[in-house]
Amino acid sequence: MQTPGGSSVGGISEKFTVGLQDMYSYSVWLIIVLIIIALIPPVIILINYIRKKNATAAANYVEPVKTIDLNSAKQKYIGLISEIVEKYNSGKLSDRHAYQQLSKVVRNFVFDTTNIKVQNYTLSEIKSLNIPNLYYLVDECYEPEFSEHNKGNIVETCEKARQVIVGWN
């Protein structure tokens, strides 16, 4: 048997040494993976912060108020209603399409003068606006606008639409 630094087992002599490994001798990939793992939480926190900030900014965004001359808007939309009546009387528009265009014209008039996006509102949403003339006019257009078989009078409804626009404040 030999002293430390060498050993003899069954007559075979073997020498071994123990030494410290250099600090940078570990795999570079292990260090890279550890750095990436350490960076993940701050990146997630930063992304969430940016999302919340953008959501808050979007929620606090106020659209600029449009300034429009009410009299010129009235003239424009009364002219569009007259075009619908002319096209209908000349046979270029069916009842259904005339009602659809009239509804679109009236809804766009309301949007242009109030900035209320009624173009996509349902009838019940329009009713909740508490603008009775608009509600009754759109209600009158509703069935003929969506029905294949019309029971309305588009010329009379166009005249009512003109009256609503002329009386708009």
Listed by start position, the domains of the chain span: 12-60, 70-166
For residue 147, what pLDDT band results from cuts at 50, 70 and 90? Answer: confident
DSSP per-residue codes, 107-151: HHHHHHHH---GGG--HHHHHTTT-HHHHHHHHHHHHHHH-SS--
Q: What is the percent of the chain where pLDDT is above 90?
A: 43
Closest CA to 81 of 102, 97, 99, 96: 102
pTM of the model: 0.60
Angle ∠(80,84,85) on CA atoms, nearest 5: 120
pLDDT digits (tens, 9 = 90+) for 34-61: 899 999 999 999 999 999 988 888 777 7
Element (H, E) at 100: helix 95-114
Give the residues across from 15 on adjacent strands.
6
State the Rg of the chain over Cα.
39
Most confident of 23-32, 111-120, 140-149, 154-163: 154-163
What pLDDT is stored for residue 22 in this prediction? Answer: 66
